[in-house]
Amino acid sequence: MRRLHFENKDYLEQILDLSPVMLLVSDKDVRILDANKAAENILGKSGESPKGNRCGDLIRCVHALEAEGGCGTSKFCPDCVIRNSVKKALQGKQIVRQYQSMRLQDEKRERPFHVQVSAAPIKVEGKDLVLLTLEDVTELYELREIIPICSVCKKVRTDEAYWEQVEGYLARHAGMKFSHGICPDCMKKHYPDY
């Protein structure tokens, strides 16, 4: 394969910024040193740059928020695919699309975050760093889930094999709120005198 050498840094930066996935340059502490536009747009929601922050703090991982020292200091961090991918990349290994399910804290609520992580070792100005790719696959994951629902009473079976009302299930899994009313067909069927 032919190798291209770009002397124009702006040209290469433009190409990286056109990628729709988050591309991050990380150090061994999973501190973000550089990011493409997609990462800045997704992770820098508050208007601040993601640069200088540790990944878990930046994405608002619930474990990073619970730990006094932030990302990398909770009891769950040794099992983090992002952190372990960076570690393996710094050992010279390339990690391709390792899946991780996480819980993130939004402004209002905790939500699931499904991500595929890729990591590759890079050397920049003599420093061993990692090119980290985060692909948010939450929407695809949620679309793929099949929810068992009773064809008679319309209760939903939970992961724990209990049956619950669909409103309760959706409130817990999607943060939805419900109000109740009655449709015209049910009104005629159950309350014909009204």
Domain for residue 164, yes or no? yes
Per the structure, the count of domains in the chain is 2
Residue type, position 120, single letter: A
Domain for residue 27, yes or no? yes
- What's the pTM? 0.65
Domain for residue 4, yes or no? no
Q: What is residue 31's DSSP assignment?
A: B
Domain for residue 2, yes or no? no
pLDDT tens-digit series, residues 41-86: 877 665 567 788 899 888 889 999 999 999 999 999 999 999 999 9
**pLDDT score of 1:** 43
**pLDDT score of 153:** 85
**Whole-angstrom distance, CA of residue 168 vs CA of residue 119:** 39
Q: Positive or negative CA dihedral for 145, 149, 154, 157?
A: negative
Q: Sheet containing 110-124: give its strands across.
A: 32-35, 22-26, 127-136, 110-124, 95-105
**Whole-angstrom distance, CA of residue 64 vs CA of residue 54:** 9
Q: Say which range, 7-21, 102-116, 129-143, has the weakest mean pLDDT.
A: 7-21
**pLDDT score of 5:** 56
Mean pLDDT across 132-142: 84
Instruction: List 26's β-bridge partners, or say none.
Output: 32, 130
